[in-house]
Amino acid sequence: MFVVETTVTGMHAPEFKGIGPWINSPPLTLADLRGRVVLVDFWTYTCINCLRTLPDVLRWHRKYADAGLVVVGIHTPEFDFEQRADNVVHFVHEHHLRYPIALDNERALWQAYGNHHWPHKYLIDARGTIRFDHAGEGAYTETEGMIRLLLNEARPNTILPEFNPTPEETSGVCLPASHELYAGYRWGRLANPGGYVQDRIAEYTDPGWHDNGQLHLHGEWEAQEEFVRHARATDQPVDYVGLHYQAFEVNAILRSVGETPIRVEVVRDGHPVSPDVAGRDVRFDEHGASYVEVVRPRLYQLISDHHFGAHSLRLATTSDTLDVYAFSFGGCSYDPLVSRSL
């Protein structure tokens, strides 16, 4: 857990300008919300840290809306496809997020708040002053405590629901996991000799040595700023993107061009992923092969292991419509009784 006190804490909150369209609500202004407590949550729908905090954000909305809390999600995209309103709307409806959400595609509000993190939550009191903020996961009890404090300030006679926050942590086992890996050449690091061939199709060969913190490509791929795209249709899944990692959990941001369902095989340490470590998006065919079906652009959970370890991972496909954006890793083992994911 960590709390980030930024330069905006104690200042008048920037107005909701330069954002939209809005989901679940007509456009809101802080001026209209004066007298209520506002929780502003900067997030994006493929960010694993954001996804782990959303259940608590939704819980606070349900628990305290009648007491004067207004939750406003500010969806600030990291990747181009996250700018599409239909992708965000699909996610919001699929996960039953009922509070107001605005798209911040131009990062107007992100910049107004001087923000640098996904997720980042700001609590604004009834007078429009930022009283608290927190970046990243954690601080659930502290955040809810501040929500209650500000609600009591705004409406002293309001009886609040019982304070029974969810546990801060699960099993408490957290180890140094691999850092997030980007696939596109803007932020990515490639182990292949010569690195990326930018903005055109090229033949890549697996270098045979795999450092933690770098991707490697094999076969025909087209490298763009944000992603690498498999560049040919094949009879067998012989082309792949690979990596070496250490973690409990592995996630990948994947897209099917044109949103046609495609099969992407997942291989760990040279074998199909075993069911006991398979992520929630992994399926198995009649031959025992492990794969994910990629349709809409989103984050796919590939590995959910109860044991921390170092492994190799490959994603392979026969389709020429696969875009690979990024991989993220989880270094904490979670108690199954306490879920931090939607």
Domains detected in the chain: 22-154 (3.40.30.10), 181-333 (2.60.120.260)
C-alpha closest to that of 217 among 200, 237, 195: 195
Q: Look at the alpha carbons of 74, 79, 81, 87 in this order and tell me if their dihedral is positive or negative.
A: negative
Question: What pLDDT sits at residue 337?
Answer: 40
| 276/87 Cα distance (integer angstroms) | 31
Question: What pLDDT sits at residue 335?
Answer: 52
Question: What pTM, to 2 d.p., does this model score?
Answer: 0.93
Tokens in use for 239? 């082309």
| 136/120 Cα distance (integer angstroms) | 6
Question: What pLDDT sits at residue 267?
Answer: 98
C-alpha closest to that of 14 among 178, 150, 143, 124: 124
Tokens in use for 9? 């804490």
| 318/262 Cα distance (integer angstroms) | 9
Question: What pLDDT sits at residue 342?
Answer: 66
Question: What pLDDT sits at residue 168?
Answer: 61
pLDDT 10s digits, 12-50: 999 999 999 999 999 999 999 999 999 999 999 999 999
Q: 26 preceded by cis ω (within 30°)?
A: no
Question: What pLDDT sits at residue 338?
Answer: 44
| 182/139 Cα distance (integer angstroms) | 28
Give Cβ neighbours of residue 43 (< 8 Å, ≥ 6 apart).
50, 53, 54, 73, 74, 75, 76, 118, 119
| 98/339 Cα distance (integer angstroms) | 20
Low pLDDT (below 50) residues in the chain? 1-5, 170-171, 336-338
Question: What pLDDT sits at residue 10?
Answer: 84
- In eight-state DSSP terms, residue 116 is -
Sequential DSSP letters for 118-147: SSEEEEE-TTSBEEEEEESS--HHHHHHHH
